[in-house]
Chains A and B, each alone.
Chain A
């Protein structure tokens, strides 16, 4: 069961990596798609006591199926509460949420994120949905985990628009702006590897490459300089058990694919 899987897709790998970061008896603020699956996988494997919270007020659900929306009834099916956005967001702001998930269209070296526009705000070439709960998650959760596809167009020197705060422009910048002390991006997961943030500079740093990926490839797919330490590890593979549970959670392949 704990045998490493021989074959796995990228989405499966990303879900497992994300799941393993989450801790038992902690809380996580969850958004649509892969974050939901990762949190549910954690619940069913190493973190049965992980509390899942949704922005529309669903708390601690035990749903047999994946929610389609972060606001749908599966987010509070057999939950400990079906509350409100005011409640969920206030609790997060006050310090009850340990982890939060974010997706992104663009990310920079400080983990700042864009989900608003490409181009000029008044006249965008591409209009994305906007912050949604992202700015709130990025502001309030103590540690955020970003899942994003990696290429030079997405990993950029300067964002077209800072929707959600990472470390802004460096160490201490969040606190100076008034954001909660010690909070900020913790991990970034892409199809190439897993990243953390340097303790003193708060710049993105490579922690592990996925099987078959080289550090050079990681740098080539990034428009800014990524810190690549000498001792980069290889991302641990998903286990057969984790893969099985993933497809149990998402039998239709809504997020995890087939």
Chain B
């Protein structure tokens, strides 16, 4: 095929398919192993400095914030983050100085709440480097290729734009239609971390609501950490095998962390904690504010349960559960600023 154009963005997470197959055969077990461990152990074991890491969920929906706080607590550095649909997850990591590079589909924004002060400051001051641009579908399809074990997938987005020019994609002439098409290089992140509704000890996970990009990402990533609201018996998995979102043999660690998505939303369980997110957005306007946030909520706590106490404990989570179920209205400090 004629290569019509090549994007100049840095290519990360791409492995020759044979190299990746070999890695899988040597490093991933098909045995039914009890993978339960503490989050502390999982992060220490699988998240090294400098890894290429991606988070499941949607930036502030069903995101494993517990894992993110532990990454910060263990002072991980120079992470290369997939800015796939990155919102609160990446903002917190950037504010804690864990990130050096980002491939951006969406990052540095908090959707309706406004732009992310810490994220933007870091890029504008050169502390975090944006190594490539892509789009949401583009990143989703990088993981599709990684899941499929092929070197790239084909699509019709990005064409004609600067997003393409700064991506790691290429344009070729489709041998059937003769039209230009976009080739999106596959991605196999070093680590991906997901927060799910239910998981058995082996890693068979169930997710309620939208899958977002997790189906493909969990199968594309080399190491997969699951944090779960609850551990269930494998019998429950076998009773409804069609509910299995992530199969055990791609999973490396299972950590039971109720409310582990806080302050992000956990569909059908608990709503966003807008007050807590608002506190972060306010504090993160300055580096000193960032530091005070982490000193209190991360470094000042042993683990996630310590953090939960600080943010209002069971009473707060019960309120957020009621909001999620439309039994109480939400409260959001940023609303008053509009």
Interface residues of chain B, those whose CB is within 8 Å of chain A, are: 57-61, 83, 85, 87, 104-109, 111-112, 115, 119-120, 123-124, 126, 130, 133-138, 140-141, 144, 155-163, 166, 171, 179-182, 209-216, 265, 267-268, 272, 274, 324, 326, 329-330, 332, 335, 338
Contact = CB atoms under 8 A, between A and B. Distances in A.
Contacts of A165: 159-161
A247 B130 CA distance: 40
A178 B135 contact: no
B180 A177 contact: yes
Contacts of B274: 68
Contacts of B120: 126-127
A123 B127 CA distance: 11
A76 B210 contact: yes
Contacts, number: 205
B324 A71 contact: no
Given A116-B163, A254-B112, A132 B209 contact: no
Given A86-B144, A128-B109, A178-B171, A71 B163 contact: no
B162 A83 contact: no
A133 B136 contact: yes
Given A71-B61, A89-B137, A128-B108, A56 B212 contact: yes
Given A93-B155, A136-B136, A173-B160, 8 more contacts: A56-B212, A68-B330, A69-B60, A76-B209, A89-B136, A129-B107, A130-B105, A130-B163
A119 to B, nearest CB: 9
Contacts of A135: 135, 137-138, 157-158, 161, 163
A256 to B, nearest CB: 10
A73 B324 contact: yes
A139 interface: yes
Nearest to A70: B111
Nearest to B166: A121
A255 interface: yes
Nearest to A256: B338
Contacts of A139: 156-159
